[in-house]
Amino acid sequence: MVTSLNRLFSDTGTIVVARYAGLTVADMTRLRTNMRSSGGSVKVAKNRLAKLALQGTDAVHIADLFKGPTVIVFSRDPVAAAKVTTDFAKANEKLVILGGALGKTNLNPEGVKALAALPSLDELRAKLVGMVQTPATRMAQIVAAPAGKLARVVGAYAKKSEAA
């Protein structure tokens, strides 16, 4: 168990630790389903085993978060675990985000929420594809727009000086 958790902590992009006291089995199943659909996973492990598994990983600094009934939410996508956990915590106040890790960076609960506000890798890829597919005429319009505005301003000054 410690070896598999250690491998998981080493291979993941983001880890979020939350307190789950009071969640029903149906709530935990919904959290697991939401996380799985986003490409991550949810684990519940004994705190002592989780602390041992953190040794030798970049996330060793979050060991102090493992007190009481904790759930580990993780994903390779740096945003997915934070986004799913934050959205679930908004809908269910019994899930309390304690903090997490993004590589070697320690995240407090506000840091996890800030990370959740960022677009995911898939959203960024979609925006990039959309930008690449923009027709050349639209790009030409965008580039020419400042020059057109400048020409109108110069024309207005010329008309003003002729009138004076």
Give pLDDT, residue 1: 85
pLDDT digits (tens, 9 = 90+) for 21-36: 889 999 999 999 999 9
d(CA 31, CA 103): 23
pLDDT digits (tens, 9 = 90+) for 57-106: 888 889 899 998 999 999 888 888 899 999 999 999 899 999 999 888 88
pTM of the model: 0.71
